[in-house]
Chain A
Amino acid sequence: MTDLLLDVTQQLINGLMYGAFYAIIGIGFTLFFGVMKKFNLAYGPTIMAGIYLGLIPLYLFKMPMWVVFLTCVAGAIVIGFIVELACFRFIRKGHELAPLITTIGMLILIQETVVTITHALPYEYPNIFGDESLDLGPFLVRPDYLAIFITGVGFVALLYLLVNRTRFGRAMRAVAENPAAAQLLGVSVKRMNMLTFTLSSALGGVSGFLVAMTFGALQPGIAGWMTIKGLVVIVIGGVGSIPGAILAGLLLGVVEFQAMWFLGFTYRDILAFLLLFAFLVLRPSGLMGKPAV
C-alpha cells in the first residue's frame, strides 16, 4: 500500500512541476487567443524558433547561458513580430478565419526552415540546473523542474502585478473586454496589441529557454507538442484567463503523470484529450473563463 502511495506522490510531484511548463505555455496562448483574440497557431513554432536561434551563440560563439537566454527571448520577439506582420497585419479585415490559415502556413514555414537549416540533427541545451536528481526523502526531484517551477511562480507573480497593478495591465484588460470602449477612453488599441504581442512572444522565449534545457535533445517536433498542450490548457483553463491557464496547466501535468505511470503513454494522451472533451461538454467556459465565444 505504501508503495502505491509513494508512486502516486512521486508522480504528483513530477506532475505539478511539469505542469508549471504547461501553465507558462498556456499563459502565452491565452494572451494570444483570449486577450488579443488572435488564433495564432504559429506561436509554438515561434517559441521553437527562438530556442533554435539560441543555439547560435551557444555553439558558434561559445557564449555563456545568459546570452543564450537573451537570444531566445529576443529571437522569439523578432519571429513573433514577423508572424504578426505576415499573418495578421496585412490580412484585410473581414474573414476571421483567414489568420488561422496564414498562421498554419507560418507554422509549416518556420518548422521546415528549422529542419532544413539543422538537417534534422539533434542539438542540445546544457542544463544549468544540473544533471542529477535531488533526493527528497524517498522521492527524486529534478532540479531543473524545481527551478522552472520556482521561476514560473516568479514570472506569474510578475505578470499578475503587471496585469492587475499597472496602467499597461489595465489598458490590456480594457482592450480585451471591449476594444471600442477602450479606444474611446484613449487607449491605442493598435499599440496595445503590439505590446501584448511582444509580451507574449517574450514570455514564449522565456518558457522556451527553460523547456529546452529539460529536453535531452532539441527537435523540431516540439513546436507541435507545445501547440497541442497550449490549446488543451487554454480550453480547460478558460480562454483569456491567466489564473485559469495556471490551474489548467498544473491539472494537466498531474493527470498526465498519473496516467503515464499507471496506464502508459497512449492512454496518457487519450486521457488528456478526453479531459479536454469533458471540459468542453460540461463546462465550456473552462475552469475560470468567461462564457465561451
Chain B
Amino acid sequence: MEYYVAVLSIIGIHMLLGLSVYLVAITGQLSFGQQGFYAIGAYFAGMCTALWGIPLFPAILVGMAAAGVMGFLVGFPCLRVKGLYLGIATLGFGEIVRLVFLNIKYTKMIGGKLVGPNGAEGFRHVSYIYDRGMTQVQYLGIIYAAVLVVAILIFLLERSKLGVKFRAVEEDEMAAAMAGINVTAVKVFAFTMGGFVAGLGGALFVHYSTYIDHEIVALPLAFSSAIYPLLGGLGSVWGPILGAAVLIFLTESLRVLHEFRMIIYGALIILMMTFRPRGLIDEAFLRRLRGLRRRRAAASAAT
C-alpha cells in the first residue's frame, strides 16, 4: 500500500512539473528549464520550514512566489527567441539555477543538527511533515489537491479569453499581434504562471523527500519534464497529467528488467512518439471525444 502511495506521490509532483511545461508550451514556447523553478520552489520552501520555522502552507507559498518571480524575470529575455533557441536558452537557465544552488551555503545549527543548503552536500533535514505525524496518505492528499487546483485553473484558463490569446500566440505570433493581442504580456504571463506551478511542485517535493540537492534538478529532469506534455499531448490539460503518470509508471513497472530497464524505457519513448506523434491524447482524439458527446447530445435531443 505504502509503495503505491509513494509512486502516486512522485507522479503527482511530476504532474505539476509537466503542467508547468504545458502552461508555457501552449503559448508556443517549449521550455527545458522548468526544473530551475522547481529547484527554487524546493530550496525556498525548505528553508522556510527547516530554517525559519514557518509552517508548511505559507512556506509552499513562499517557494511558489520566489519561483514565479523568477519566471517573470526569465520571460523577458526569452521573448527574443523562439523554437529551438528558446529550448536552449531555458536549458541554460535551468543549468544556471542548478549551479547557483551548488554554491549556496547557508546553514544553521538547529537542535544539534546542521540544517540548510550546504552546496554540493545538499539540503537535508526538511522533515516538517514527518516530525508532525503527517501520514503519507495525508500528504498524498495535499499533493493531489494541488494538482487538482492547478489543473482546474488551467482548464478554466484555456476556456477563457486569455486561453484563446494563448493559443493564438502559439499558432502565429505575428497574426496575434496584428489582431491586437499583447504578445509580450501573454508570453511573460505564461512563464510566470509556469514558474508558480513548477515552484509548487518543488516545494511539495522537498517536504516529501526531506532532501534536495543540485543533482536532483539536473538535465535528466529537464528532459523528463518536457517529455510529459509532449508525450501526453499538448491538446488539453490531461496531456501532461497522463504523460507524467505513464512515464513514471513505466519507470517503476519496468523494474523487473533490472539493468535493461532504462534501455527499454528509452525505446518505449521512441515507440510511443512514433505511433502517436502528437501525443497520447492528441487533438484527433479530443475531437473524436467531442464528436461523441455531440452525437450523444443530438441523439438525446432527437428522441
A94:B278 contact, CB within 8 angstroms: yes
- Asked whether A104 and B263 contact (CB < 8 A) given A224-B219, A235-B88, A276-B89, the answer is no
Q: Which residue of B lies closest to A272 (CB)?
A: B92
B262:A108 contact, CB within 8 angstroms: yes
Chain B residues contacting A232 (CB-CB under 8 Å) are: 88, 92
A239 to B85, CA, bound (A): 9
Residue A101, interface by CB 8 Å: yes
- Asked whether A274 and B103 contact (CB < 8 A) given A97-B230, A101-B230, the answer is no
Which of B102, B260, B274, B278 neighbours the largest number of chain A CB atoms within 10 Å of its CB? Answer: B274
Q: How far does the Cβ of B3 sit from chain A's closest Cβ, in whole Å?
A: 24
A277 to B74, CA, bound (A): 11
A105:B102 contact, CB within 8 angstroms: no
A116 to B263, CA, bound (A): 9
Chain B stretch 259-279: residues in CB contact (< 8 A) with chain A: 259-260, 262-263, 265-270, 273-274, 277-278
- Residue B269 contacts which of A97, A102, A116, A281 (CB distance < 8 angstroms)? A102
Residue B95, interface by CB 8 Å: yes
- Asked whether A92 and B277 contact (CB < 8 A) given A108-B269, A112-B266, the answer is yes
Q: Which residue of A lies closest to B271 (CB)?
A: A105
- Residue B85 contacts which of A87, A97, A105, A280 (CB distance < 8 angstroms)? A280
A109:B77 contact, CB within 8 angstroms: no
Question: What per-residue 1/0 map shows which CB atoms of B265-298 lie under 8 Å from chain A?
Answer: 1111110011001100000000000000000000
Residue B84, interface by CB 8 Å: yes
Q: How far does the Cβ of B84 sit from chain A's closest Cβ, in whole Å?
A: 6
A201 to B227, CA, bound (A): 25
Chain A residues contacting B30 (CB-CB under 8 Å) are: 97, 100
B84:A104 contact, CB within 8 angstroms: no
- Residue B102 contacts which of A86, A90, A266 (CB distance < 8 angstroms)? A266
B278:A116 contact, CB within 8 angstroms: no
Chain B residues contacting A113 (CB-CB under 8 Å) are: 263
Residue A148, interface by CB 8 Å: no
Chain A residues contacting B84 (CB-CB under 8 Å) are: 33, 39, 239, 293
Chain A stretch 78-97: residues in CB contact (< 8 A) with chain B: 86-87, 90-92, 94-95, 97
Residue A59, interface by CB 8 Å: no
- Residue B230 contacts which of A86, A100, A107 (CB distance < 8 angstroms)? A100
- Asked whether A108 and B266 contact (CB < 8 A) given A33-B84, A98-B273, the answer is yes
Chain A stretch 265-293: residues in CB contact (< 8 A) with chain B: 266, 269-270, 273-274, 276-277, 280-281, 284, 292-293
Q: Which residue of A lies closest to B94 (CB)?
A: A273
Q: How large is the interface on A (under 10, 10 to 19, 20 to 34, 35 or more residues)?
A: 35 or more
Chain B residues contacting A101 (CB-CB under 8 Å) are: 226-227, 230-231, 269, 273
Question: What per-residue 1/0 map shows which CB atoms of B206-218 lie under 8 Å from chain A?
Answer: 0000000000000
A269 to B82, CA, bound (A): 23
Question: What per-residue 1/0 map shows which CB atoms of B136-157 lie under 8 Å from chain A?
Answer: 0000000000000000000000
Residue A247, interface by CB 8 Å: no
Q: Which residue of B lies closest to A89 (CB)?
A: B274
Residue A106, interface by CB 8 Å: yes
- Asked whether A277 and B82 contact (CB < 8 A) given A106-B266, A116-B259, the answer is no
Q: How far does the Cβ of B119 sit from chain A's closest Cβ, in whole Å?
A: 10
A61 to B158, CA, bound (A): 61
Interface size for B (C-beta < 8 A) is 40
A39 to B268, CA, bound (A): 19
Interface of A is mostly: helix
Chain A residues contacting B82 (CB-CB under 8 Å) are: 292-293
A284:B269 contact, CB within 8 angstroms: no
A105:B81 contact, CB within 8 angstroms: no
- Asked whether A280 and B77 contact (CB < 8 A) given A101-B231, A112-B262, A273-B92, the answer is yes
Q: Which residue of A lies closest to B95 (CB)?
A: A273
Chain B residues contacting A250 (CB-CB under 8 Å) are: none
Q: Which residue of B lies closest to A112 (CB)?
A: B262
- Asked whether A105 and B92 contact (CB < 8 A) given A281-B80, A292-B81, the answer is no
Chain A to chain B: the 8 pairs with minimum beta-carbon distance, closest first: A105-B269, A109-B266, A108-B266, A98-B277, A112-B262, A273-B92, A105-B270, A281-B77
Chain B residues close to A by CB (< 8 Å): 30, 77, 80-85, 87-89, 91-93, 95-96, 99-100, 102-103, 219, 223, 226-227, 230-231, 259-260, 262-263, 265-270, 273-274, 277-278
| A–B Cβ pairs within 8 angstroms, 26 of them | A33-B84, A39-B84, A86-B270, A87-B270, A90-B274, A95-B277, A98-B273, A98-B278, A101-B273, A105-B266, A112-B262, A112-B265, A228-B91, A228-B95, A231-B88, A266-B99, A270-B96, A273-B92, A276-B89, A277-B77, A277-B92, A280-B80, A280-B89, A281-B77, A293-B82, A293-B83
Given contacts A104-B269, A107-B266, 10 further A-B contacts (CB under 8 A): A33-B84, A101-B230, A105-B266, A106-B270, A108-B269, A231-B91, A273-B92, A273-B93, A280-B80, A284-B85
